[in-house]
Amino acid sequence: MTGRILRYGLGAAGLAAMAFGAGTLVTDPAVRDWRGVARWLLLALLLHDGLLVPATLLLGLAAGARWRARLRLPFLVIGSLTAVALPVLLRPGRTANPSVLPLDYVRGWALSVSAVVAVTVCLGVAAKALRGRARAGTRDRVRGGVDRSGHS
């Protein structure tokens, strides 16, 4: 019951956000190039559905279920970082006012992605070490061996 309420609530919020965006687009007097808007929307649709989704599905299929589960969260975080950083990553170059975008955003994005990859690797290594340690303890108990404290 709670899941259904949450799902319908999020769906309604998404529809409201789309309606707001469409209303703003239609009523904004600054939007005059409707062909440019249509071209941008078509290109975004083709890029997403024609390239991004198939590449993601093929990578997930090639990775297998075990790796797919481990890489889901890092890919989500890296994708979100990239989506947020894309406008400044694709900016045309230096602006007339050097204080508008004064930082090296490509470097900042690369450092953020590197941090996500490093945390993912560290968590994977730690999880493997803990699993190995748990298996060793189980093996000792099953074999009736002596544990590290000297008790049998």
The pLDDT tens digits of the residues spanning 72-118 come to 899 889 989 998 888 888 876 676 777 777 788 889 999 999 999 99
The pLDDT of residue 6 is 94
Please indicate whether residue 86 or residue 7 has the higher confidence score (pLDDT): 7
Here the tokens at position 95 are 């602006």
CB atoms within 10 A of CB 70: 14
For the entire predicted model, the pTM comes to 0.60
Among the listed residues 92, 83, 89, 13, the one whose alpha carbon sits nearest the alpha carbon of residue 44: 83
Among the listed residues 83, 88, 84, the one whose alpha carbon sits nearest the alpha carbon of residue 103: 88
The pLDDT of residue 143 is 58
Average pLDDT, the chain: 84
Rounded Cα distance between 77 and 69, Å, is 14
Please indicate whether residue 129 or residue 137 has the higher confidence score (pLDDT): 129
Q: How far is CA 108 from CA 1, 58, 83, 134, 151, in A?
A: 43, 29, 14, 39, 54
CB atoms within 10 A of CB 85: 17
Residues with Cβ < 8 Å from 113, sequence gap 6 or more? 78, 81, 82
Does residue 10 register a pLDDT over 90?
yes
The pLDDT of residue 65 is 85
Does residue 11 register a pLDDT over 90?
yes
Does residue 138 register a pLDDT over 80?
no
The pLDDT of residue 30 is 85
